[in-house]
Structure 1
Amino acid sequence: MRALALAPAFVSLAIALGLITATAHAADTPRDIKGLYLMTDYPAITVRPGTTSTISLRLQNYGLDPQQYQLSVAGVPSGWTATILGGGQPVAAAMPAPDSSVPLQLRLDVPANAALSQQTLTIKAEGQGNQATNQAASQASLPLVVSLAKELPAKLTVTPQLPSLRGSPKSNFEYTLSIKNDSGRDLTASFAAQAPENFETSFTEAYGTQELSSIPIPAGQSKDIKLKVRPPSTIGAGHFPVTVTVKAEDASAKADLALDIVGEPQLQVAGRDGLLSARAVAAQQSSIPIVVTNSGTAPAENVTLNASAPTGWKVTFEPSTIDRLVPGKDAEVQALVTPSDKSLAGDYMVSVNANSRGESASSQFRITVATSTVWGVVGAGVIGVALLLMLGAVARFGRR
């Protein structure tokens, strides 16, 4: 009984699924279109007297045998010139293959003294026709409405991809700007940048290095350019505006940009009281005070110290790392310098370096080395013994 009760439900579901499948199949079936069509994307246009305009057309064949179609334009006002182009040259006929189209163009030359009015031109394609096709299928026409009007003023827009950038004073800030010509004619756009004092600016191609001051832009199209901004290395942290102005004839546009410059440390290395000289003794450890200063605009973290010294010398620092050095402050460490035991008396150069995450500084210290006093005493003793031996020899042999 339960099976019998469920049977109608399964039947209904199957019928519903069948209807859905049939509907989907019908939706996927292409419409049965057959004939010849003249088409354009813009069947109504506005042109300015004294100019030449080009309108894109296409002759479409849906399911017809290939044949030659004569092309013509009717309703052309006196003084106007209408020319049908194919492949960039004037043509009088076209032959589209079945289920394909032939691209065409209509070039209109309107005299400068033409009255501001509206005209309707008719583009025609006419075939010979045959018994297999009726007269309607062997011809097509396209009405084109042409309105004459004064030229609209030039119009420009400039759009930055990233209007605000962040970096350090050592960074190069690069902005990509898209300039669009919204006019009905080609324009040459010039551009300039207003930046804070001592900021360097330059314009280049979007994908090149050639510097530019202007660029041609066809009507209705856009061009991308790149603005490079380099701040002075001594600039402090802050927010800095940059304004780009684009001009062409009587049109102009502006874009507001910004640089957010973050602080960075700037290290300096010197001796106490600014001295860059010290004294040491060969084979003996000497302590030389080293002062590290942060004259930048951001803290210096984990400042490490190292030295470059003559061969055989030993140089260490105590402490070897400064954990944090805030702007405007300094820290003193001790350089423990031990010249080689083979060092002769004289002046030697030792380079002391401080590094903090890419920021570094160094200074040259002149170390005057003296020989050890122990060796001086030993030398004096040797000389004394030699003198005593010589005096004894003179006294002994002198009496003979």
Structure 2
Amino acid sequence: SSHYTYYKQIVPSKTEHHHKGSNNLMEFWKLFVVALMPIVKVLLITVVGILLALDRFHILTQETSRKNLNTIVFFVFSPALVCGSLAETITSKSLLTLWFMPLNVLLTFIIGVVLGLLLVKVIRVPRHLHGLVLGCCAAGNLGNLPLIIVPAVCKQKGNPFGDADICHKNALGYASLSMAIGSIYIWTIVYNIVRVYSGNISNEVKVDDSIITPNSTLETDQENISKDRAHTNHVKQLEIECTISNERVKVPKNEKIMKHLKVIVEKINLKALFAPATIGAIVGLIIGLVPIFRKLLIVNNAPLAVIQDSIVMVGDAGIPAMTLLVGANLIKSLKGLGKQFPIIVGIIVVRFIALPGIGIGVVKGAIHFGLIHPDPLYQFLLLLQFALPPAVSMSTITQLFGVSEGECSVIMLATYSCAAFSLTLWSTFFMWLVL
């Protein structure tokens, strides 16, 4: 009998296997429901945004009304949300543990660009859409969606990440840092990718020439002659400069470095790089990291806590406003889905199948080598960064250059419609993976 009991302990019966299987299924289903609820909330608010953009309601129908709301979100709500969240959650200790996040986000961009280049070659994307496709493959929505989804998961009943309040506070901090890092990479990497492929510089030259010269056939002929002469003179001048430069023996290294830095600074849009959300992130980090500011604004019974509370209150309006705008902007792109079908399918495969699969390998590898601290919520966010739809900023960037605006709207509509399904599944799987 003792041998039988020992065997029973070592070798589980079929009924025990069945119970374990059903328990795992129940746990997976609970995680699925927890992951589904935030996505449903996003969809419901997006539908409200779509309704407000209909002619019948006449609230967000006009371009000016959407632009005004977008301006408020861009300059007021987003910086306040990021600043308030980072100031409360980020300390010198926590920042040391979160060092892997900037690298993780950078990897999402690099892998996205590589996959985008493969997509461009495989389906032979037209030249004028190269920048848009690469940008959509590289830049995920690292701001709005993590800020909505991750804290909302914490607020769900039976959330797997522990105490709801602590989880929500940490989630806001992680998501805010993700938003700040994402905005920096978008305005340095993606902005310049779209700029290179847009041919914006040549367009600007054409516009300048048309402004300078009057519209008459005689003058245009004279202009062509003068252009040819100028071109030949320019070539001669270049040849002279080349011969002179060949005669020079030594060029100071400092001058070379300064020249290169000047070119880089001119090419990078610093105004866009230091967007209000980025400035808000910097201010939030300073408040969180500098002990004097933290004592004045953050800690219990802080003398200037009312300022921090006001910032948080303003920031709380950011998430619903952003989501309403996504819905209002998507209504414009209901037409023309069929024309861009191969590109849309390609971007969906890259962003919702290839990137998350690679992301699991990256994050699991980092955990294996001890590069990431063992916080399931933090690991969940790192994985989620690989599974997000394209950044909403892509529509802003295409508008800045006046290139592929219609195609961008169509891609946004298709990818965000698929994201409702894919994000729920990936979120469920990621939660199961980290717990």
TM-score (norm 1): 0.19
Q: Which has the larger radius of gyration?
A: 1
TM-score (norm 2): 0.17
- Which of the pair is proportionally richer in helix? 2
